[in-house]
Amino acid sequence: MRSHPADYEFVSPGSIGAVLELLHCEPGEWLPVAGGTEVMVQYSAGRLAARRLVNLWDVKELCRITETDTTLTIGGGSTFTQLREHRSVQEHFPLLAQAASWTGSIANQNRATIAGNIVNASPAADSPPALFAYEAELELVSVSGARRIAYTDFHLGYKKTALAPGELLFAIHLPKRFAGWFRYGQKTGTRNAQAISKVCIAGVGRLAEGRVESLHIGMGAVAATPLRLRKTEESLVGAALTKSAIANARHVLLTEIAPIDDIRSSAEYRGHVAGNLLEALLCTFAASKDVA
C-alpha cells in the first residue's frame, strides 16, 4: 500500500543549528532525510515507520568538502557525484571515488549522500569498505557539541550504530597519508550498473622488503555490519605474500565473516566470493611494485 502524504510531517528548518534543536527537543521522534534515495523508497512502498521527517537537503553546512595539508573533511551531505568528481577525493582517496561511482545510477548519485550511506547502515553499502581502508573518523554533532569517533567504532550490530538520539553525522575526516600505497577495490553484483553488492571489498597496504608492513581491508555484505577485517590483516602483517600465507588468510577471513542467505545471494556463495576477492587483492598486492 502506498503511503499518503497527508500522514507525514516534513519540516525544513534550513540550518544545522535549527535541525539539531529539533532533534534535541524530541529525541528519536524525527527522521532526517537528505537525498531521499533510501527513505523515499520506503515511503513509496508504504514501509516508512517514521511519520515525522526533517529535511537536511537544504542545510548548506553539511555539504562542504574542505581540506588541510593532512586531512580531507567531507561534509555528510556531500553527494556521491560530488565525491567522485572532487579532485582531492580522486587523488588521495581513489577507492572512495570508485565506490561512489559504483553506487546506484547517475540520478541516484546526484541525490544520495555519504552520511546517508553510512547512517543507513546497510551491510551491503558501497562506501564503508573504502572508509575502513582509509581509517575514516566520523564527526557526530548534537546541541551539546561535537565528538569524533573512529569509523570502526560506529557500527554496533545490524542497523545499529553509535549515533545517539539527537545526533547527526556531520562530517567524515580522512587522513591524507596513503599516497603511494597499494590499493584495491572490487564489487561483485548482479550487473555492473546500479546493483546492490553481493560482496564488496576495499583495501590499502604497504610492503617493506617483500613483507606486509601495513594492510587495511574493509568488506561489505558479509556480516550484519560492514566489516574491517582485523584478524585477516593481522594474519598477514609481517608476512611475505606467499601462496601459503594467502591460503591461510583466506582461512582466517572465513572465521571473521558471517555471510547470510538473502534475495541477492546465498551465504555459501558469499563466503566463496569473499575469499576470491581477498585472494585477488592479495595477489595484486604481491605483484605490486609499490614499496613506499
Partner 1 sequence: MSRKMFSMLVNGEAQTLEAYPMERLLDVLRDHLGLTGTKEGCGEGECGACSVLIDGELVNSCLVPIAQANGTEIVTIEGIANGRELHPAQQAFLECGGAQCGMCTPGMIVATVHLLKKYPRPDAEQIREGLNGNLCRCTGYMRIFEAVEKAAALELTR
Per CB under 8 A, the list member of 22, 33, 95, 100 interacting with partner 1 is: 33
Per CB under 8 A, the list member of 25, 27, 41, 237 interacting with partner 1 is: 41
Specify whether the CB–CB gap between 188 and 273 falls below 8 A: yes
DSSP, res 27: T
Task: Report d(CA 122, CA 226) in Å as an integer.
Answer: 8
Does the protein bind partner 1 through residue 40 (CB under 8 A)?
Answer: yes
Query: Distances from the Cα of 211 to the Cαs of 7, 241, 284, in angstroms?
Result: 60, 7, 14
Does the protein bind partner 1 through residue 81 (CB under 8 A)?
Answer: yes
Does the protein bind partner 1 through residue 240 (CB under 8 A)?
Answer: no
Per CB under 8 A, the list member of 25, 107, 237, 247 interacting with partner 1 is: 107
Does the protein bind partner 1 through residue 90 (CB under 8 A)?
Answer: no
Q: Which stretch binds partner 1 (CB under 8 A): 18-26, 118-126, 187-195, 212-220?
A: 187-195
Least separation in angstroms between residue 261's CB and partner 1 is: 23
Q: Return the number of the residue (43 or 132) whose C-beta is nearest partner 1.
A: 43
Per CB under 8 A, the list member of 25, 26, 27, 58 interacting with partner 1 is: 58
Reported as half-sphere exposure (CB side, CA atoms, 13 A), residue 113 has a value of 27
Written in H, E and C, the secondary structure of 160-214 is: EECCCCCCEEEEEEEECCCCCCEEEEEEECCCCCCCCCCEEEEEEEEEECCEEEE
Three cell numbers written together for 15: 540550518
Does the protein bind partner 1 through residue 164 (CB under 8 A)?
Answer: no
Which residues lie near partner 1 (CB under 8 A)? 2-3, 5-12, 33, 35-37, 40-41, 43-45, 53, 55, 57-58, 81, 104-108, 110-111, 192-194
